[in-house]
A = this chain, B = another copy of it.
């Protein structure tokens, strides 16, 4: 089995960190997004949406979407639980994961795509929308800071996929100047802690 990956992109990094936390070895095949290698006929056969990462199993079955790839490995090797163990933990981790994805990660992504023109050969960037998305992302850092004032990790008292997505979002955010502020002290303390985990280098 192998994963089609782009070392510099924020989304596949989530999968690399997830697998490092589970101590699951993996073969990674690099795909150059800027050159559009992900849009080739060969890659479109693996994922019609043309996105990275893609997990290819030995029988040729392909799974795309980082979250889906992570869920596959969570089901195969549950421990350490990164999507939660009890029904309530699962729900709380799913809730925070999605809020971080929708209101931080995707907003930063939209800000990047619509303000930098990085993918302007394959989409129609609308600068006004990109700026709005960056503002939305910055606002969500306040929500996260309030949560981390009362919680050790993003979705409760254990490290989870929600922490992985949040850390990747914050690192990606620098590219479009979405940054933690001085008043985000709980968020900053958490960020220092999770970034020091060996998996963060994956």
Residues of A with Cβ closer than 8 Å to B?
A: 48-49, 55, 57, 61, 63-65, 67-69, 71-73, 75-76, 86-88, 90-92, 94-95, 98-99, 103, 124, 126, 128-129, 132, 143, 146
Q: How many copies does the complex hold?
A: 2
Do B88 and A61 touch (CB < 8 A)? yes
Label chain A's interface by main secondary structure: helix
Do B132 and A98 touch (CB < 8 A)? no
Residue of B nearest to A85 (CB): B75
Q: A126-B129, A143-B49, A146-B48 are in contact. Are A71 and B99 (CB under 8 A)?
A: no
Complex: how many Å from CA A99 to CA B68?
10
Q: A48-B143, A132-B126 are in contact. Are A76 and B87 (CB under 8 A)?
A: yes
| CB neighbours of A72 from chain B (8 A) | 87-88, 90-91, 94
| CB neighbours of A126 from chain B (8 A) | 126, 128-129, 132
Q: A49-B143, A126-B132 are in contact. Are A94 and B68 (CB under 8 A)?
A: yes
Kindly provide the distance from the CB of A98 to the nearest chain B CB, expressed in whole angstroms: 5
Kindly provide the distance from the CB of A63 to the nearest chain B CB, expressed in whole angstroms: 5
Residue of B nearest to A147 (CB): B48
Complex: how many Å from CA A186 to CA B124?
30
Complex: how many Å from CA A67 to CA B94?
7
Q: In the complex, which of the residues B48, B65, B132 contacts A124, with contact meaning CB atoms closer than 8 Å?
A: B132
Q: In the complex, which of the residues B90, B99, B129, B146 contacts A65, with contact meaning CB atoms closer than 8 Å?
A: B99
Do A91 and B103 touch (CB < 8 A)? no
| CB neighbours of A88 from chain B (8 A) | 57, 61, 72
